[in-house]
Structures are given as structure tokens and as C-alpha cells.
Amino acid sequence: MLSQAVVEFGAPLKEIETPTPEPEGTEVLLKVHNAGVCHSDVHIHDGYFDLGGGNKLPMANIQLPHTLGHEIEGEVVAVGPEVKDIKVGARYAAFPWIGCGKCPSCLRGEENICVGGPRQLGCNNGCPGGYATHVMVPHPKYLIDYGKTDPALGAAYMCSGLTAYAAMKKVGKLGEKDQVLVLGCGGVGMMGVQFARAMFHKGPLAADIVDSHLEAAKKAGASATYNPSKDGEAKRLMAETGGGAYAVVDFVGSEKSFAFASQSVRRGGKVIIVGLFGGAMQMPLPMFPFRALGIQGSMVGSLSDTQEMMELVRAGKVDPVPVTKRPLSAANDTLNDLREGRIVGRVVLTP
């Protein structure tokens, strides 16, 4: 099998050849047809997350070489002897957020936030991902039926779609005049616009510093758009919503995006931080009770979240986001384009 692998953090990926693995036990081997490129791949490629103030969180849990890619769709080419009812030749997306299966989080069905030793495809040591011709899935329960959806989108839903769906699920029930603000309208944020429409039956507000992203969000159903780089946008949002958005879902996760979120959320509202751009936040502690403000993180979603999300997708209730296909050899250029904010929608590699 061929892979585009990280051989040195921050250095270009390198094509490597390794023996194609043979499945054992409950394992399923997929021939990869589509592998989405996610912004978290950029952080893993860089070798750290930015914690602000010059502090970094290194990728200490990853040994090199490492194959990126956690948005995976492919064809079953071999199964272990314990696998039942999975046919060679069938096509599935792969749920990548696999846990240890034993810790308290996993026992609650929240493998995506496993504390006992996660086995996330493309994200953890010893768990190669989809920037390759083949990938091993440890159990058929992680194979997801994407129905008649474009297979490339089937791959992208395993992270960008699931991340957006699970974050919107945390918003909860909206009142008649409650508004949700999607902050950051890149690949995941555009999914956020779509799932907000499907789940709340009205278009969300959208904010981004790139006008083309705002245009795309408007076409996707956003009811109003705001550019935080322009003066007075938070005040305009507050005025037009009668005091601010009930929930701000921050798909950027930077110091500047959090500052705009805190200026745009109404009293008694919530900020849900999804993005991993980096930095640190500061807010006087008395402001939390004074504003009755909730701040929550959201980390992808569970296997049950995935099944719920795909019911919406298979029912045609979620419009597709723009997807561009590139060959696996373009993985380096794609990571750089994503790093520089040059991508609208999603890019999927096609090994």
C-alpha cells in the first residue's frame, strides 16, 4: 500500500510504501476511495496546537512516520474471520473516533472523548489514516452507511459533518426569536449552516472575515451575515437580533473569534467552541454569573451522533457543501491551501 505520511513535523509529506495489512479478528480492510482533508490534519502536520502566549501542545502521542486522514470512505476488500454480514465490494464511510472501549467515556457511548487510550484513525499513534490506498477499521460497527450520498461527502461527514451536527445538538431547543450564529464559514462552518437549517428549521446567522465565505453561507441559507474584521459588526448584530445570538458556535477557535463571540452572544446565552486555531481567552470571572453565560467545548461526535446525523443526510434534509476532488499526490498542496484559508467547502483526496 502507498501512503502520504508525515516523516518530520512541519516538513512536506512523503510517499511511503508498506505491506498491505491483512485483517484479523473483527478487522475490516478498506480500499480508500475518498479521504477528506481537515484543519486538524494541519495541526498534526505542524506537530503542535497553539495554546496562546507562545505556549504549544506538542503531538507527543504520535510517532513518525504517521499517515494522516480521518475522513474516510472506501470499499471493503478483506475482512477478519470474526466479521459477519459485511460483503467484500461494499462501500462505507469509516467512523474514525474510536476509543478504548473500557473507560467511563467509552462505556457511556462517548468514544470520541475517550480517556483510556483512543484509537482514532489518522490522529493517534499506531492508527494510520486515509491518506493512503488502504486503511484498517477495527470493527464493522464503525462502518457507516451513507446511502445515495456522494461518496466524497460520505467521507467528509465523518468529521466536518459530525463536528457540525454534534455542536448544533449542544445548542438545544430554540425559542421563537432565538438565533444561532455560525462563526467561521469554512468547510466545517458551512456544514454548520446546513445542519442548523435542518435541525432548527430556519437559517442561522453567519460570520466570517472572508467575504467569499459569507457569500457561500448566504447561498446556503444563512439569514444574515457579518464580517468581524469590519468596525461595528458586533453592535449591528446585537441591534438586529434584539440583544445578541442565543448561541454562538465558534468553528474557528481563535482569540479574535472568541472575542467576537463574547460580544455577540446575549445574556443567558452560550458559546460553543469547536475550532482549534489556537490562542487563549480572557474574561473576568464575575462576568460569567452576571451574564449567565455558558461556554462549552465540542469535540466531534459519538457513534450514535453519527447514526442520527446520517439519518438526516440520507433523508435529503442536508444540502451538500462544495467538494473539490484532488489526487492523493496533492496532499501537501491541499494542507498548505487549507492553512492559508484558500479553500471554500471541502477538499477530498482520491487515492
**56 closest CA partner among 315, 307, 280:** 280
193 and 229 in a single domain? The answer is yes
Residue range(s) defining the domain that contains residue 246: 171-297
Taking 80 as the threshold, does the pLDDT of residue 302 lie above it? yes
* Same domain for 158 and 220: no
Residues 80 and 176 in one domain: no
Asked whether residue 343 carries a pLDDT value surpassing 90, the answer given is no
| Most distant CA pair in the chain, distance | 63
Report the domain count for the chain: 2
Q: Are 121 and 59 in contact (CB under 8 A)?
A: no
Taking residues 38-64, report their average pLDDT. 90
Strands 265-273 and 245-250: parallel
Question: pLDDT, tens digit, for every residue of 188-212?
Answer: 999 999 999 999 999 999 999 999 9
Whichever domain contains 277, its CATH number is: 3.40.50.720
Residue 255 and residue 211 in one domain: yes
Of 257, 275, 297, which marks where a domain is finished?
297
Q: What is the pLDDT of residue 86?
A: 96
134 lies in the same domain as 152? yes
Do 310 and 279 share a domain, yes or no? no
Name residues whose C-beta falls within 8 Å of residue 176's C-beta, 6 or more positions apart in sequence: none
Please list, in sequence order, all residues whose beta carbon lies within 8 angstroms of the beta carbon of residue 79, skipping any fewer than 6 positions away: 23, 27, 28, 29, 86, 88, 140
Please check whether residues 18 and 142 belong to one and the same domain: yes
- Give the H or E element holding residue 182: strand 180-183
Residue 187: per-residue pLDDT: 83
The residue ranking higher by pLDDT, 53 or 83, is: 83
Residue 52 — very low, low, confident or very high, per pLDDT cuts 50/70/90?
confident
At residue 68 the predicted structure's pLDDT band, cuts being 50, 70 and 90, is very high
Q: How far, CA to CA in Å, does 268 sit from each of 124, 247, 286, 291?
A: 37, 9, 14, 6
Task: Please check whether residues 72 and 105 belong to one and the same domain.
Answer: yes
The least confident of 52-61, 89-98, 140-149, 198-207 is 52-61
Q: Is the pLDDT of residue 344 over 90?
A: no
CA nearest to 197, candidates 228, 235, 171, 215? 171
Model pLDDT, residue 345: 77
Same structural domain, 206 and 244: yes
Measured CA distances, 222 to 187, 205, 269 (Å): 15, 6, 20
- What pLDDT, on a 0 to 100 scale, did the predictor assign at position 14? 97
User: Where residue 27 sits, what CATH number does that domain have?
Assistant: 3.90.180.10
Domain boundary among 268, 297, 326: 297
**Average pLDDT value for residue range 229-240:** 97
Q: What is the pLDDT of residues 261-284, one digit of tens each?
A: 999 999 999 999 999 888 988 889
Q: Are residues 152 and 181 in the same domain?
A: no
Task: Mention every residue, 6+ apart, whose C-beta is less than 8 A from residue 135.
Answer: 29, 30, 32, 69, 72, 74, 94, 121, 128, 129
Mean confidence (pLDDT) of the chain: 95
Say whether 228 sits in a helix, a strand or coil: coil
CA angle 43, 48, 49 (to 5 degrees): 75
* 326/228 same-domain check: no
* Domain stop point among 258, 277, 297: 297
Say yes or no to pLDDT of 96 above 80.
Answer: yes
Tell me the H-state helices in 133-172.
151-156, 162-169
pLDDT higher for 227 or 188? 227
**pLDDT bracket for residue 29 (50, 70, 90):** very high
Residues 20 and 65 in one domain: yes
How confident is residue 254, by pLDDT bands cut at 50, 70 and 90?
very high
